Amino acid sequence: MATVYLGRVPLVFLFKPEYVRYVLVEHPRNFTSREISQPDETTASEGLLTIDGEKHRQQRRAVQPAFHKKQVEGYASAIMQYTQEAISSWHIGDSVDLTQSMQELTLRIIGKCLFGVDFASQLEALGKTFDDMIGSQAGILDTVFNLRIDNPVTAYGKRLSAMRKLNMSIYTLIAERRSDPTERNDVLSLLLKTEDGVVPGQLLSDKQIHDHILTFIAAGHETTAISLAWTFYLLSEHPHIRAKLQEELRTVLGDRPPTLEDIPKLTYTDWVLSESMRLYPPAWIQGRFAVDEFELDGVRFPAGTRVMMSQWIMHRLPEIWKDPLVFRPERWDPEHGQQVPPGAYFPFGGGPRTCIGMPLAQLEGRLILAMVMQRFQPEMPAGFQPGFNPVITLRPKHNLKARLMPVPTRDEASAAERRVLVSSMHDLSDRKGCRTALFDWLSFFRL
């Protein structure tokens, strides 16, 4: 445990898997996220990420059918169609901004799957709006010191301007759906029939529905897009792992596109994504606010304590992970991989507030990664350093612009793997121990 002061605000960081389980899984009702999130005009204060108690339980239960296994599997055709359309304009030798491309693709997928809307004609504008809303989260000055100035040059002003644009689109969507008698089974239709969980029989207001939609769109596309971007970066940096992934795709798929039935066979693809989210978790930190006093390992904390749990730190602790800084998908092999204690790996959170969209994100990630890597080999420029922009999510500081190279044949891949095997071995002697990870975390912030 460690207490860090940001201004005059104490944050208690928890660094053990059992502490994470205590907060997220064993005692979730004693830890709320509402006070941590500091809702204001630029946040979805009535979305699933911020509401608590009976409201959260009832409203989450109401939209859960949209994320059941069969329903999510039904989204596969839209994911594959939109991915195929996105990469159909790519050609060998092109330079592609993977950060922007993945954002636009996942935005389109989330709109179609959850709300029955095709954002195809709005992708560039929507992407820019979400960049202003999410990417301008300066953090310390306007949250800790409460300096919120509505001006185009301030981070808060940019977020507020972006929110106004999104508000117009979302409220228009709600009004159009209310006037349309067509029966649908998407998230928006479920929200229109959901009670608020406070007053019996009272349905959600337009404001509450708006906040849910904003939460689903923002969280639903942002985390998957970032996860894929980091994965492409890691594969470019580790040619031997990329070769193994492409060999699996050749063996399982051949020249045909993947299907839903192929997903369980793409085990190495799944390990690659899991390992990518270990090293670069899209949701890199989360906090809770203690409702009542509690005790951990003999230390008593008063009600109101703000506790913080960082996936970035927990996923890299050397006490848990062997060679924690090494990108090694094989560590997720259930037969020969390492044992991961519960609470040590939580890219989607944990307990009753585990990300409701996790099944969709996992399916989406596997299909998109397989379809791209089956046809192309994205390579970053030599010496490229993406840097970090840790806002709500762990974004790369610099967009990942890759050259699209051809996928080598099996013989070419085997020869290339032999050449890079030695050079891919990591010299760990000059790496920092992860005991300094907290200082790395603090260096993320920009005043």
Highest mean pLDDT (candidates 169-173, 309-313, 434-438, 439-443): 309-313
Question: How remote is the C-alpha of 159 from its chain's centroid?
Answer: 20
Please tell me the distance from the alpha carbon of residue 25 to that of residue 22, in angstroms, as a whole number.
6
Contact 325, 303 (CB under 8 A): no
pLDDT in tens, 382-397: 999 999 998 889 999 9
pLDDT in tens, 326-381: 999 999 999 887 889 999 999 999 999 999 999 999 999 999 999 999 999 999 99
DSSP codes of every residue in 289-350: EESS-EEETTEEE-TT-EEEE-HHHHTT-TTTSSSTTS--GGGG-TTTS----TTS--TT--
Q: CB under 8 Å to 213, separation ≥6 — which residues?
A: 115, 170, 173, 174, 187, 188, 191
pLDDT in tens, 22-35: 999 999 999 998 66
Q: CB under 8 Å to 98, separation ≥6 — which residues?
A: 228, 229, 232, 378, 399, 400, 401, 402
> Three-state SS for 9?
strand
Mean pLDDT of 292-309: 95
Among 133, 80, 135, 127, smallest CA distance to 107 is for: 127
Does pLDDT of 147 surpass 70? no
Q: Which amino acid is at 386?
A: P
Highest mean pLDDT (candidates 28-42, 129-143, 175-189): 175-189
What pTM value is reported for the model?
0.87
Please tell me the distance from the alpha carbon of residue 437 to that of residue 446, in angstroms, as a whole number.
17
Please tell me the distance from the alpha carbon of residue 131 to that of residue 357, in angstroms, as a whole number.
21
Residues 30-39: b if buried by 16+ CB within 10 A, e if exposed = bbbbbbbbee
Contact 292, 30 (CB under 8 A): yes
Q: State the pLDDT at residue 82.
A: 96
Please tell me the distance from the alpha carbon of residue 45 to that of residue 144, in angstroms, as a whole number.
18
Does pLDDT of 41 surpass 60? no
CA angle centred on 174, ends 168 and 180, rounded to 5°: 135
Does pLDDT of 430 surpass 50? no
pLDDT in tens, 184-220: 878 888 898 888 777 888 888 898 888 888 888 888 8
> Three-state SS for 287?
strand
434 marked ligand binding residue: no
Break the chain into its structural domains and give their ranges.
54-283+322-443
Q: CB under 8 Å to 128, separation ≥6 — which residues?
A: none
Give the distance between the most distant pair of CA atoms in the chain. 67
Q: What is the mean pLDDT of the chain?
A: 85
Structure tokens at 120: 């195809």
> Three-state SS for 11?
strand
Which CATH superfamily groups domain 54-283+322-443? Cytochrome P450 (1.10.630.10)
